[in-house]
Amino acid sequence: MNTLEQLAAALPKAELHLHLEGTLEPEMVFALAKKHGAKLKFPDAEALRRAYQFKDLQSFLDLYYEGAGVLRDVEDFRSLTSAYLDKARRDGIWHVEPFFDPQTHTARGISVKTVVDGIVGALRDAEKKHGITWRLIPCFLRHLSEEDALKTWEELKPFRNLFTAVGLDSSEKGNPPSKFARVFAKVREAGLKVVAHAGEEGPPAYIREALDLLQAVRIDHGVRCTEDPALVKELAKKRIPLTTCPLSNVRLCVYKKLEEHPLKKLLDAGVSVTANADDPPYFGGYLLKNWTDCIRALSLEAKHVVQLAKNSFEGSFLSEPEKRKWIGEVEKFAAKSGA
């Protein structure tokens, strides 16, 4: 490891774009299938891992939703979340704001309570065990109808004190943010923030829709903003966070190779970008691997690595004093290492 990679590992970091169902490692898929007597299309974990070759977002989502079918009881959601948090801790992550997809489970007859009890149980355990803080974000699946999202919002409402924001994910093309303007108005009325996947595969106009119509305060991915220079300027000026996921973008063929990823360009333009894992086993790495691969592929300098760490706290839903504390910690680490 060179010194920049050591700095990336040592700096305190927050993870702002991580789908809990997307942390399901093939070995856990098989263990849970065995536990529940479920049949899988693949003979073993290795064969499943070999199938992680995607041509676009949809080809990934097909496998991702199928894999999530083995998550059935509170303990499954708890062990899934705990396994992720143990890895996050090893990567030097001190704060997490994970997503989960309630509709993936309620459609199979699994209640929001089962999902939330498992996830929150693990988050509270990790708070005690590792000192990791958290905010939790359920997402609406945008390939489903507005009506389904409205029904899901009613199911989420009794648990709203456990959530900080609600997000929007799944198949982006043809499912613009405007489709969900009414349900997100209800989310905001309930005092929750809005985040949205936009500009991953969809056009920069979807980023504008997410900001203007949904009043999203953070954009997930957002990389296609580079096609609209005025939008990049606006994002930079307003410090609207973009939670990018570089390895995901390469595996889902948004970019042919990591060298083409706009992370460094956006950092240099003053946009508050972060680098996150998205769905780590599917895309070949957790948060720190995203950082270290970008250091190499994009020739990042120490100032970029330090900025990524600062942006991860600045863009989080921590309180202002907590943000200041962590940004101060990042600065201390950077000074100690001469960055």
Catalytic center residues: 200
Nearest to 13 by CA among 320, 335, 332, 327: 327
Smallest separation (angstroms) from ligand ADE to the CB of 25: 15
The only residue of 103, 114, 175, 248 in contact with ligand ADE, by rule CB under 6 A: 248
314 touches 238 (CB < 8 A):
no
Torsion of CA 283, 315, 206, 137, to 10 degrees: 70
The only residue of 15, 25, 169, 293 in contact with ligand ADE, by rule CB under 6 A: 169
The only residue of 76, 91, 97, 279 in contact with ligand ADE, by rule CB under 6 A: 279
- Of 4 and 250, nearer to ligand ADE (C-beta) is 250
292 contact, one of Zn ion, ligand ADE, none, CB 5-8 Å limit per kind:
none
Query: How many residues sit in the footprint of ligand ADE (CB under 6 A)?
Result: 11
- CA–CA separation, 162 and 124 (whole Å): 11
Residues 62-81 binding ligand ADE (CB under 6 A) are 64
- Residues interacting with Zn ion, by CB under 5 A? 278
312 contact, one of Zn ion, ligand ADE, none, CB 5-8 Å limit per kind:
none
Q: What is the DSSP-derived secondary structure letter of residue 218?
A: E
Asked whether position 97 contacts ligand ADE by CB under 6 A, the answer is no
The only residue of 11, 14, 19, 153 in contact with ligand ADE, by rule CB under 6 A: 19
- CA–CA separation, 335 and 339 (whole Å): 6
Smallest separation (angstroms) from ligand ADE to the CB of 248: 5
- CA–CA separation, 334 and 338 (whole Å): 6
The two three-digit tokens of residue 151, written as one number: 């029904």
Residue closest to Zn ion, measured at CB: 278
Asked whether position 136 contacts ligand ADE by CB under 6 A, the answer is no
Residue 287: CB partners within 8 Å, gap ≥ 6?
A: 13, 15, 18, 88, 91, 93, 275, 276, 277, 280
User: What are the helix (H) ranges across the chain?
Assistant: 3-10, 26-36, 45-50, 57-68, 74-90, 102-106, 112-130, 146-156, 181-189, 204-212, 229-238, 246-251, 263-268, 280-283, 287-297, 302-314, 320-336
The only residue of 57, 110, 288, 305 in contact with ligand ADE, by rule CB under 6 A: 57
200 contact, one of Zn ion, ligand ADE, none, CB 5-8 Å limit per kind:
ligand ADE
Asked whether position 197 contacts ligand ADE by CB under 6 A, the answer is yes
- Of 91 and 278, nearer to Zn ion (C-beta) is 278
Smallest separation (angstroms) from Zn ion to the CB of 165: 14
- CA–CA separation, 200 and 169 (whole Å): 10
